[in-house]
Amino acid sequence: MHLQEPRLRQWHRALMEIPAPPFSEEARARWMLERMRELGLAATSIDREGNAIGYLREPVAGEPLVLLSAHIDTVFPAGTPLNITEEDALLTGPGACDNAAGVTALLAIAAALRHANVETGANILFAANVGEEAEGNLRGMRYLLLPAHGRRIAFAVALEGSGNETVVTRALGSRRFRVTLQGPGGHAWSDASLPNPAAVMAQAITTLYACDWPAYPRTTINVGALESGGSVTAIPESATALFDLRSVDATELLRAEVALFRAVEDAVIAANVKYDKPLLRSTIESIGERPAAELADDSPLLAIVRSVDRHLAMRTSECTASTDANLPLSLGVQAIAIGAGGRSGGIHTTHEWYDATGRELALRRVLLVLLDCCDLAVEAEAL
């Protein structure tokens, strides 16, 4: 695959030059569709959710499929300056690794299979999917796995970020909420006795952070955004905060959710108790949910990964993360997320960087895992 590297760098740079903020991935999806057609993939299209898809060969209704995906969206909002720099194998700029590296790897695998006219056991569905980041809530992957499509996904492999040896086998669950507190507002001096939504929100946040969250199973909370008021001399009419709750354990995740609701409720009740009628009210809106799940240690897919790694003299480094693999795992489909090679840093910052040195090894790894999955899917079908 090393002969492809100049083309991979061209693709990688081109992807970075196309903004793909959450819910605005159309331009990058169209670019991916063009590349898929150039490579000769079959039944290419952009589906109703915005995923660019194609098959290794013409699909047959009801046949087992192996899904190879890479999300095309980034965390960066519209208008983010790109400021891309390139020096030898090093690319720097928004989304250089997450997930331009994964999407480039998807194209590399498709190109290698088409160039060599490889006949796989099961057919492969290539998907450049939307909606992995931020409030996308895995919408692209959810659409791909809809039962109404009649697709029989035997295995799912998501290409995510960098690294040669990592494989995500444990899906980090998360729940995300938008909490809004609303009050009458007023003048900082003459209405000082009225409830302040910003202060009450601060109390709720302080209470939540004071909870004893376990190190195992690891559970975390984060307030990722705060918004309130517009003047230093005014009591704001509202305050809004975005909460991100994460855990590898579904029970602990539910406990964190209950703690959030209770912290908000208690803070609002305490603020309203001094008035004849409630002046402050709260709304809590769910803006995202990713199920916690795990690939069984004795699963055929994990056995394939370990076998390939032994063949390549690599160490299998299993880890936990929140990726597109969360959804198929939660639905009982054997799934992993796997690195696209190279090294990276500054993830989710505008100075994110990706060094493609050694990318070939990871691509070989992905290809071998994919081919073994295709064979096993057909064997399982025959049983």
Q: If one looks up domain 173-290 in CATH, what number appears?
A: 3.30.70.360
Percent over 70 (pLDDT), the chain: 99
Q: Look over the chain and give the mean of its residue pLDDT values, rounded to a whole number.
A: 96
Residue 135: its pLDDT value, please?
A: 86
Which residue, 114, 93, 101, 112, is CA-closest to 41?
Answer: 114
Contact 350, 80 (CB under 8 A): yes
* 30-82: pLDDT as tens digits: 999 999 999 999 999 999 999 999 999 999 998 999 999 999 999 999 999 99
Domain formed by 2-171+294-382, architecture: 3-Layer(aba) Sandwich (3.40)
Specify the 3-state DSSP secondary structure of 120: coil
Query: 364 — phi, psi (to 5°)?
Result: -60, -40
Q: Output b/e per residue, 333-367; b: 16+ Cβ within 10 A.
A: bbbbbbbbbbbbebeeeeebbbbbeebbbbbbbbb
Strand partners, 187: 234
Cα distance between residue 243 and residue 245, in whole Å: 6
Band the pLDDT of 134: cuts 50, 70, 90.
Answer: confident
Cα–Cα distances (Å) from 92 to 65, 345, 353, in that order, read 35, 9, 4
Q: Where are the domains of the chain?
A: 2-171+294-382, 173-290
Band the pLDDT of 2: cuts 50, 70, 90.
Answer: low
Query: What's the farthest any 2 CA atoms get from each other in the chain?
Result: 79
Average pLDDT of the residues in 355-368: 96
Which residue type does 266 have?
Answer: D
Percent over 90 (pLDDT), the chain: 94
